[in-house]
Every structure is written in structure tokens, then in C-alpha cells.
Amino acid sequence: MLNKQTTQDRVLASAVKAINKGGEAAVHIRQICADTKTTAPSIYHFFGSREGLIEAAQAARFIQGQRKISIDFADSVYECKSKSDFTAVAHRFLDQMFSIERQSIRAVRINVLGSAQSRKGLAKAIAKSQLIANKVGGEPIRYAQEKGWVRPDFNSEMYLAWITGMVNAQGLIELDGVHPDREDWVLIAKRSVCLVLGIPEPKYVKPKNKTKRKPKQM
């Protein structure tokens, strides 16, 4: 049986939906109460204030994409029987993490990080969420270390923090859309990850019909 969402979960999901649609200005307590069939005192009980709700929603937006892929990765790792199995899983998830299809997720994370630079409450909420993600995501890596499939000489939780930073960094070349050299960036990223893990890197496939960015007219 699927677990039912708590009132707090429903309120948070409603706030996330509002921000995704219209930014933080779209978060209205009265509307969220109507959407979730709850009361304002309940919302203030859970989140303290409207700003507290917004900070929690922004932290949830930051971690959402990472949470699902971490769970899927862990499930796949625990099914592995050998280093070759683990390597194949790692390569598959690297393809997924750095894919064009996840560009919008990376954009959200950069947006939230930018907002957190001037808001200590939001920065603290994101740091707390990421700390939990590091612990959860570090478990399958630690399992692979114990099996001898990856190098044992690094901290698995800090590996998660590092690879999250790698994924976020890809957003820097996507601020103006799809970069013409994105495959070169992805190649470097994948090589770096495989080097840290101590596994073979994916076979390089040269992109077809690669078009170079045209120089601007002066």
C-alpha cells in the first residue's frame, strides 16, 4: 500500500507547484489552504511563516531531481553481482545525469542556489537537504567500496557532494541554451567521475555533424 501524503507534504508540494508556475510571488497562503484543504494556522505550525514555507519549497525544488535518481541508482547497485555490472550501471546513470533531458532540472537548481546566496534561511535549508542526500546517496557507493568494485580511498558522502557540484556546474554552459560543445564537457565530466571511482570510462563516440558556434559579426 502506498503511503498517503501528510498535510505537511501536501502543503509543501502545493508551494513547489506555485513557485514552478509563477515564482515565489505566486505562493499565497490562502490559495494553498484551498488547494490542500488545510488551514493557515496549520501551515504556520509546520513552517513558521510564509517565508519559512518558501524556503522549504525551494529546498525541495533543489533536491527533487537528485532524490529520485539516487534511489534508482541505489536499487540498481544492490542488484549488481560484479564490478562489470557496477561499471555498466555507473555508465548508464552518468548518461542520465548529464543528459539534455535533465537540463530543466539543472536550471531549477541554479535558480535556487542563486536565491540562497542572499538568504541565510534558504541556504541553511538547502544545506540540510543536501546533507541528507549525501548520506542516502553515499550508501550504494560505500557498498560498492566494500565489494571492491570502486576505489576505497575516498569518502562516499563527499563523493556525492562533489558529483552534485559537477551536475550543477553543467548548468553554467546551458545558461544560453544547448551549448554546441556540450558533448566535450560531458566527456570530461564522465572521465573525471570514472577516474575517482576507479572504473573504466565509457567508450567515446564522436558526435556526428557537430556544428561549431559561428563568430559574432563586429
Q: Is there a contact between 43 and 33 (Cβ–Cβ < 8 Å)?
A: yes
Q: Where are the domains of the chain?
A: 7-48, 58-197
At 217 the pLDDT is 54
At 84 the pLDDT is 97
CATH architecture group of domain 7-48: Orthogonal Bundle (1.10)
**Check whether domain 58-197 has CATH 1.10.10, yes or no:** no
- Alpha carbon distance 194, 213 (integer Å): 29
At 203 the pLDDT is 84
At 213 the pLDDT is 53
CA dihedral of residues 92, 94, 95, 101 (deg, nearest 10): 120
> Tens place of pLDDT for every residue, the chain, 218 residues?
445 679 999 999 999 999 999 999 999 999 999 999 999 999 999 999 999 999 999 988 888 878 889 899 999 999 999 999 999 999 999 999 999 999 998 998 998 998 898 889 899 989 988 998 899 999 999 999 999 999 999 999 999 999 999 999 999 999 988 899 999 999 999 999 999 999 999 987 766 665 555 545 54
- Alpha carbon distance 87, 204 (integer Å): 15
Q: pTM for the full model?
A: 0.80
At 212 the pLDDT is 52
Cell, residue 118: 542572499
